Structure 1
Amino acid sequence: MNSDIIAYKLNGEIVDTQSINGREDQATPIYFDNSKDSLEVIRHSCAHLMAEAIISLYPNAKFFVGPAIEDGFYYDFRAFKEDGSKLGEGDLKDIEKKMKELIDSKQNIIKTVSTKKEISEKFKDDDLKQEVLKRIPDGEVSLYTQGSFEDICRGPHVPNTRYLRFFKLTRIAGAYLGGDEKREMLTRIYGVVFADKETLNEHVKMIEEAKKRDHRKLGVEMKLFTFDEQIGAGLPIWLPNGARLRSKLEKFLFPIHRQRGYQPVRGPEILKSDAWKISGHYTNYKENMYFTTIDEQEYGIKPMNCVGHVKVYESDIRSYRDLPLKFFEYGVVHRHEKSGVMHGLFRVREFTQDDAHIFCEPSKIKENILEILDFVDNIMKLFGFNYEMEISTRPEKAIGDDKIWEMATDALKTALDDNNLSYGIDEGGGAFYGPKIDIKIKDSLNRKWQCGTIQVDFNLPERFDLSYIDENNEKQRPVMIHRAILGSFERFIGILIEHTAGELPFFIAPTNVSIIPISDNHYEYAKEIATMLQKLEIDSEILHKNETLNKRIRTAEKTHVPMILVIGDSEVENRSVALRDRRAKQRSEMSLDEFIKFLKEKLNEVHF
């Protein structure tokens, strides 16, 4: 089967065997394998196979859209069981079983083409199909049919269901119709599919491992954060452990910024809407913002820190000798995320960015971008992340003319090209005010995460009429470079928890040492150790509840504390410790002085 052709690449587009229409000699064949193009076809087709299985089991089902996505596929649909309830996790096995039956029947997938009007008439009693048709331009519309199932779709699809054998349905969720939280909540089922069993099994193992590492689960076990319905969705509450973790991360990054010439600043969290109108946020980003009225004046809660930093720049006359000016802030921002997309710390409505803005001369864009990339590289290596870069170009909704956008995009490309740094292109993925380099990190499960970003902006300096005095005593316009490395503390911490399975680096672990006195006779010595550690700014806890020793050790292990000290008669008498180093997976006996020296060396291992 691996030698079978399932589609073609023609003029940069994937065309299935049902659509190639004698143009095979002009195209490159796509074989049945795990290549990117092949998987796109297989995934899209498996979504249709799942839909056919669903409608076979639940004849009342109606379907919205079922695209291929980066790591699999999903379908949004409406279906009810005989008792009127929606489908749940327990129904996935029945759907999988039916899909396998359909695969065994080796159905051909057939494409037909009609006019939009004819298709609309054909599905006149199907409200979800009518929703799909609203999103399709007038003209020809294609249908794909397999067995008793047919759907409006542009393809591409495999020629036969026999190519869809190696799949797994992974989860079921709710999804608002068209992503609009004011509309009906549909059911969404996700799945994965590959060209061979081995790759599928490896991926399923990765999914299972990801469930164990889920930062929402570990966040509860480690007592880092919580969410509360009375507070509101997407608004994390940081518990003492989590607040210590954040504080350590912020404290670690602060002197590094200062060493690189950044000045700390602080902007207000609400600004008059007049400022957001000048910046362009009011027109281009309003739907993502929260607004309030004070003394009959409208204010917007900031979704970004850039306008505040513009005002810092405006606060004084600037000379070319002052540039580059680098301002940074751990800025709290709020964005109106839809309920259906929020997910633990990964997507929240309030978060804190490690945000910075660099104001420089246009001729110095390249050197400043390279300095930022060096900063990024050091941070990612420190936490054990590999990463990729992608340049995102002008989106459909944007400010500024084409010439400015072209200049800014070329500046990013030149900086990367001149230093032989590889990157991809995300057409239309830029911010509304400028193109950007997105930093996409890879975790220990080889998953990609969007984190940092570098954006070149000629538009905001022009809109706020920023200037500096050049060497000829003439006014010139600076360039503004927006920069975040972690992206947000919330998202980065979530990613780091999953990357490390909760075994966070010692220097930012919320609790570094758990001290477990075997009995009350050993408690005073435990307190003495804790006091010594506190003076070294090393966080510890004493586990002295009336529980068994083994249970207290398990408690420390469950919260992923790096080091556990067990204190008994021998340790008190000899002023020593019995150390369990969970990161090194070692046990050892050492004097208290040796232990303190060991911890100091551990902290000094972190070089930047």
Structure 2
Amino acid sequence: MINITFPDGFTKQFNKGVTGAEIASSISKSLAKDAMVVEINGSLADMSFPIENDSSIRILTSKDPEVLEIIRHDAAHIIAEAAKDLFPDLQVTIGPAIKDGFYYDFAKSTPFTTDDLAKIEARMQEIVKEDNKFIRQEIDRNEAIEMFKKMGEHYKAEIISSIPEGEKITLYRQGNFVDLCKGPHCPSTGKIKHFKLMKVAGAYWRGDSKNEMLQRIYGTAWATKEQLDNYLHMLEEAERRDHRKIGKELGLFHLQEEAQGMVFWHPKGYSIYRTIEAYIRRKLEKHHYAEVKTPMVLDKKLWEASGHWEKFRESMFIVEGDDKIHALKPMSCPGHIQIFKQGIKSYRDLPLRMAEFGCCHRNESTGGLHGLLRVRNFVQDDAHIFCTEEQINSETVLFCNLLREIYNDFGFKEIKVKFSDRPEVRAGSDDIWDKAESSLKIAIKEAGFEYEMNPGEGAFYGPKLEFVLTDAVGREWQCGTLQVDFVLPERLDAEYIAPSGEKKRPVMLHRAIIGTFERFMGILIEQYAGRFPLWLAPVQIAIIGITNELDNHIIGLNKRFIDAGIRSELDISREKVNYKIRNFSNQKVPLIAVVGKKEQLDGTMTIRKLGSSEEQKTFLVDEVIGMIATENKKYLG
């Protein structure tokens, strides 16, 4: 007999060799029907997996979040079967679950068409109705290689050939289709009902551009129809909000082939950019940061000393001249250490908070560039806090409070935190990393944030916190970071005089809140769908006259607003008033002021608020100026 312990502590005895499915059936028919996978001593397994020893188990259904990745993995197997049925000559390669869905890469001599996707999806639905079981099978490695070669699946054979001799090979069968897979899977194809194929893209075999190009079909899969419908609606809304489309419509920026990954800011876009910069600068001043400016090009020697040349070289732009090799800076930290090192620093000078709107360059791959969201030239709201080990907690708390203030002002209320620990390629000893990770975990808890682990994703010089925002349509964006660094101050010889008189290394906290201006601008455009709040809008008010007899008055009003520091525009063209209103509405101007002869005499203007269901209201001109000026002062001082 074996003892099976459930999450509530209840224990039940079974004969040896009991499966998750049998355990579920012993509890209730509904659980047996809904069960997807079983967790055995913390590891997920098929419902048919035999449990031979005393174990703690949990039966998971589609309501459990862990099951969603398995549903998507199953969907990948189902698309592979469907594609192979419809196109017997193609080869299946790999097909993992990914965020929000799955993909499968196929080797096919001719491109998939839109009609092909519809046929594959229809065949997938048929496979679901067939409700074939996912059956796990273990096989000898060499036998598996020969089997896939005979099937004409040479990519699968190549994958297995890269697995060391003697390792166990597991396959999964569903009907007549077999695939290489470690599992686990849901009990049968009939469990996977809510999916949709999205698009076809190119992908190199094993991600190497030297290899052949495959065709990748992306799909999405969910536990319920409601989840699928909500996701598809979110995609439609995201497409409507696409910052590239809105940026063009509103004349904010453009990108072109001659400067890939670099932004041409137009006046209205740069107006938003400068407003954000002024807002951040005011916040930094209030929180006692000293703003600096460091060179954009630095000698290779400095990058070698910092460790960036070894760990980050592939992402750096190189500049040669005067028989020397330089690099455009990908980040500002080595430059800030050079400023810190000028003159003798005492413990009384710490913490020293040094900020820069740092212009950086990174040689991102052309295929990875995406509008404002992934660029090669960008500006960071970069800052470094030089402090003692004892000050790590208090500085982290202060930083987190500042970060909350800023995100709240931009309309982001939900913040998640990920803790990224040591990567495989890193600088510094394990003892230093232990100390850095421990310090940061204590500090973030003191700041009042819960966090989830993001293993192996720290910077090469230290662990980091990643602050993730949720936008208006539910998408997540990683923006802010805080990193604890004991390594660079050592490598670049930064030091301060301790109370004892001895020289010590400062701890360096690398931090950013909005991250890069370019990316944050892209996020904001999509967050607001171009309808920026009044304080951020590139044009805050547009002024229109009922007749052209009022042109001089309209010009005078526009000047009054501009002189008051308000971003104002006018339209004194010969077009009709309704056309002018519609045009400014399409440009998403928050306030549209309409002025007639009565308003001229009364010193008033009638205001329409963009997107408001309220009736238009008439205000004194000075009231409107005061209202906008108050809003600007709230955010910009």
What is the TM-score of this pair, normalised by structure 1?
0.93
Equivalent residue letter for 2:556: E
Equivalent residue letter for 1:536: A
Q: Distance in 2 between matches of 1:246 and 1:337?
A: 22
| Corresponding residue to 1:10 among 40, 45, 48 | 40
Match in the other structure for 2:335? 308
The 1:569/1:404 distance shift into structure 2, 3 A limit, reads same
**Secondary structure of 2:171 counterpart:** strand
The 1:113/1:521 distance shift into structure 2, 3 A limit, reads farther
Match in the other structure for 2:264? 237
The 1:69/1:292 distance shift into structure 2, 3 A limit, reads same
Q: Distance in 1 between matches of 2:352 and 2:421?
A: 25
| Corresponding residue to 1:475 among 498, 503, 508 | 503
| Corresponding residue to 2:591 among 545, 560, 563 | 563
| Corresponding residue to 1:437 among 450, 465, 476 | 465
Match in the other structure for 1:601? 630
1:64 aligns to 2:89 (yes or no): no
| Corresponding residue to 2:577 among 536, 549, 573 | 549
Match in the other structure for 1:263? 290
| Corresponding residue to 1:153 among 169, 178, 181 | 181
| Corresponding residue to 1:295 among 322, 325, 332 | 322
User: What CA RMSD, in Å, does the superposition of the two structures yield over aligned residues?
Assistant: 2.3
**Equivalences, count:** 602
Taking the TM superposition and a 5 Å limit, the aligned residue runs for 1:220-231 are 220-231=248-259
Does the 8 A contact of 1:32 with 1:195 survive in 2? no
**Secondary structure of 1:450 counterpart:** strand
Equivalent residue letter for 1:44: H
Q: Distance in 1 between matches of 2:54 and 2:576?
A: 75
Match in the other structure for 1:536? 564
Taking the TM superposition and a 5 Å limit, the aligned residue runs for 1:578-593 are 578-582=606-610, 584-586=612-614, 587-593=616-622
**Secondary structure of 2:309 counterpart:** helix
Q: Distance in 2 between matches of 1:200 and 1:48?
A: 19
Tell me the CA shift for residue 466 of structure 1.
1.1
Match in the other structure for 2:356? 329
Match in the other structure for 1:122? 147
The 1:132/1:366 distance shift into structure 2, 3 A limit, reads same
Tell me the CA shift for residue 182 of structure 1.
5.2
1:319 aligns to 2:346 (yes or no): yes
Taking the TM superposition and a 5 Å limit, the aligned residue runs for 1:48-197 are 48-80=77-109, 84=110, 86-89=111-114, 91-124=116-149, 126=153, 128-129=155-156, 132-133=159-160, 136-138=163-165, 139-181=167-209, 183-197=211-225
Deviates more, 1:454-463 or 1:237-246: 237-246
Match in the other structure for 1:494? 522
Does the 8 A contact of 1:8 with 1:27 survive in 2? no
Q: Distance in 2 between matches of 1:213 and 1:433?
A: 37
Equivalent residue letter for 1:282: W
Match in the other structure for 2:407? 380
**Secondary structure of 2:450 counterpart:** coil
Match in the other structure for 1:250? 277
Tell me the CA shift for residue 142 of structure 1.
2.0
Match in the other structure for 2:384? 357
The 1:515/1:88 distance shift into structure 2, 3 A limit, reads farther
Q: Distance in 2 between matches of 1:146 and 1:533?
A: 71
Match in the other structure for 1:275? 302
Cα deviation code 1:381-433 (max 9, x no counterpart)? 11221101121100011110000001000111111234543111111111111
The 1:30/1:195 distance shift into structure 2, 3 A limit, reads farther
Match in the other structure for 2:246? 218
Q: Distance in 2 between matches of 1:76 and 1:561?
A: 46
The 1:461/1:567 distance shift into structure 2, 3 A limit, reads same
Tell me the CA shift for residue 118 of structure 1.
3.2
Match in the other structure for 2:232? 204
Q: Distance in 2 between matches of 1:315 and 1:190?
A: 54
Equivalent residue letter for 1:490: E
Equivalent residue letter for 2:136: K
Does the 8 A contact of 2:144 with 2:157 survive in 1? no
Q: Distance in 2 between matches of 1:94 and 1:227?
A: 37
Tell me the CA shift for residue 25 of structure 1.
6.2
Cα deviation code 1:44-92 (max 9, x no counterpart)? 1112212222233333333332221232222233335xxx4x2355543
The 1:12/1:240 distance shift into structure 2, 3 A limit, reads farther
Tell me the CA shift for residue 189 of structure 1.
2.7
Q: Distance in 1 between matches of 2:162 and 2:521?
A: 38
The 1:569/1:420 distance shift into structure 2, 3 A limit, reads closer
The 1:520/1:294 distance shift into structure 2, 3 A limit, reads same
Does the 8 A contact of 1:270 with 1:300 survive in 2? yes
Deviates more, 1:126-135 or 1:325-334: 126-135
The 1:5/1:241 distance shift into structure 2, 3 A limit, reads same
Does the 8 A contact of 2:593 with 2:606 survive in 1? yes
Cα deviation code 1:556-593 (max 9, x no counterpart)? 22222211123344433443222111154432122222
Cα deviation code 1:339-391 (max 9, x no counterpart)? 33322222222211110001111111111111111111111111221101121
Does the 8 A contact of 1:5 with 1:29 survive in 2? no
Larger radius of gyration: 2
Match in the other structure for 2:20? none
Deviates more, 1:323-332 or 1:562-571: 562-571
Segments of 5+ residues of structure 1 without an aligned counterpart are none
Equivalent residue letter for 1:427: P
Equivalent residue letter for 1:111: R
The 1:184/1:329 distance shift into structure 2, 3 A limit, reads farther
Does the 8 A contact of 1:176 with 1:340 survive in 2? no
Does the 8 A contact of 1:8 with 1:24 survive in 2? no
**Secondary structure of 1:53 counterpart:** helix
Tell me the CA shift for residue 453 of structure 1.
0.3
Deviates more, 1:341-350 or 1:247-256: 341-350
The 1:526/1:537 distance shift into structure 2, 3 A limit, reads same
Cα deviation code 1:513-562 (max 9, x no counterpart)? 22233443333222222212212222122234554433333322222221
Q: Distance in 1 between matches of 2:388 and 2:278?
A: 30
**Secondary structure of 1:65 counterpart:** coil
The 1:514/1:134 distance shift into structure 2, 3 A limit, reads farther
The 1:10/1:296 distance shift into structure 2, 3 A limit, reads farther
**Secondary structure of 1:316 counterpart:** coil
Q: Distance in 2 between matches of 1:484 and 1:123?
A: 50
Segments of 5+ residues of structure 2 without an aligned counterpart are 1-29
Equivalent residue letter for 2:569: E
**Secondary structure of 2:535 counterpart:** helix
Q: Distance in 1 between matches of 2:482 and 2:162?
A: 33
Equivalent residue letter for 1:332: C
The 1:230/1:546 distance shift into structure 2, 3 A limit, reads farther
Does the 8 A contact of 1:453 with 1:485 survive in 2? yes
Q: Distance in 1 between matches of 2:137 and 2:37?
A: 17
The 1:169/1:524 distance shift into structure 2, 3 A limit, reads farther
Match in the other structure for 1:370? 397
**Secondary structure of 1:6 counterpart:** strand
